[in-house]
Amino acid sequence: MTTPDSPEAPSAPPAGVAAAYATRFDAILDELSRDDSIADAVIERGRAQFPAYASVPAADLIEAVGRNRALAIQTLRSGVIPPPDQIWEAALSTHERLAQGLSITDIMGGFRESLRVIQNRVIALTNESGLDPLVALRASTLLWDLGDTFSARISLAYREIQIADEVARKQAQEQWIRRLLAGDLTEAEHGAAGARLTGAGPFRAIVTEPLPVPLPTPLPDTLVMEQGRAIGYLAADEMLPATVGYSEGSLGEWHSLPESYRLAQQLQAAAELVGESGRITLAGMSWRIGVPASPALNEFLRRSYIDPVLAEGEFGALILDSIRAFIGHGLRVDAAAKSLPVHPNTLRYRMQKFEELTDSSLGEFDTLVEIAWALAAAGGPGAQRLD
């Protein structure tokens, strides 16, 4: 029951009237689908509001307006807004317009103008047909909601394109760095590298030890991952964090980076074999760089100076540690004994046992060199440097 203070709610039109409305509205949508003047109006309004559209061929715009009109008619017929991920028209238009140099603002604005022209035409045709104004209102609401959803899909497509472009840019940069280090730049790339890097050096190539995933710290853009380690180059005043072990090649201009890279590879291979870590340079690694490249010599020295001692078991391992300390401390018995720590006489006894087991003399220069090489090839603490 209604009261003077509660007006009666509007009643739905009779079934026959509703069916007639639906038929007439379908006829309006059919007429809309054949109205070629919509494209002309959209292009005129769009170019007036967004001058960037002047560079887009009219044929491309006519095609896009046709897609938008079909989507609008589909929505008006069904009364349902499609979800953003199903509006392929927005993704296609975004790709096309971005490729033609338009901004995301231009793309969204252009669609809004397209929708506005369609909306005005629907309202005009609805009024001319004598339909209830509520029909035009519902149609306008649907089209505005479609505009919001379409814009959301444009934004999503734009983010996807940005991510894809960034991934492609990063991949191209990484391949360029790999070819630069390998000395495989094309003639065009070589010229571009000269324009980019000349005067910015000198540079040195870098090869890191195997790195954990995820990385503990971001790496410079001039380094790329390669089989679990980073390779690339740094300027003379750049260094990696102390938490990253790496080898650096010789310093020079950008065109000498292939040679620098080969040296860094050799240094890192030697460092990992002999047990070195941290920042590895040729000056620090010295003769040890030759250890990985001498398997026959390594095997001979191992049989001569390592195997006979390790045959003594745990005591043999202590002897080798003592010899490492002796060589690592510049042949100074007291300093070596303190580092172990043992009494100097204990160290002397172990040195004597080493000489007996290997039939060698620690007082001979060539023997010391061979023992140092053998210990380096064996890895671990044997990489200690002579002071």
Measured between alpha carbons, how far is residue 242 from residues 166, 211, 229 in Å? 29, 13, 16
pLDDT for residue 342 is more than 50 = yes
Q: What is the DSSP string of 168-205?
A: HHHHHHHHHHHHHHHT---HHHHHHHHHHHTTT--EEE
Q: Which residues contact 41 (CB under 8 A, 6 or more apart)?
A: 117
For the chain, list the domains and their CATH numbers. Answer: 15-164 (1.10.490), 199-291 (no CATH), 295-378 (1.10.10.2840)
Higher-pLDDT residue of 310, 382 = 310
Tokens 């760089």 appear where? 289
Q: What is the pLDDT of residue 6?
A: 42
What Rg value do the Cα atoms of the chain yield, rounded?
Answer: 39
Across the chain, the runs of DSSP E, i.e. the strands, are 203-208, 223-226, 229-235, 246-248, 279-280
pLDDT for residue 13 is more than 60 = no
For residue 212, cis peptide bond before it (omega within 30 degrees of 0):
no
pLDDT for residue 14 is more than 60 = no
Q: What is the pLDDT of residue 7?
A: 43
Average pLDDT over residues 48-61: 91
pLDDT for residue 121 is more than 70 = yes
Whole-prediction pTM: 0.61
Q: What is the pLDDT of residue 258?
A: 95
pLDDT in tens, 179-238: 999 998 888 888 878 888 888 879 999 999 999 888 878 889 999 999 999 999 999 989
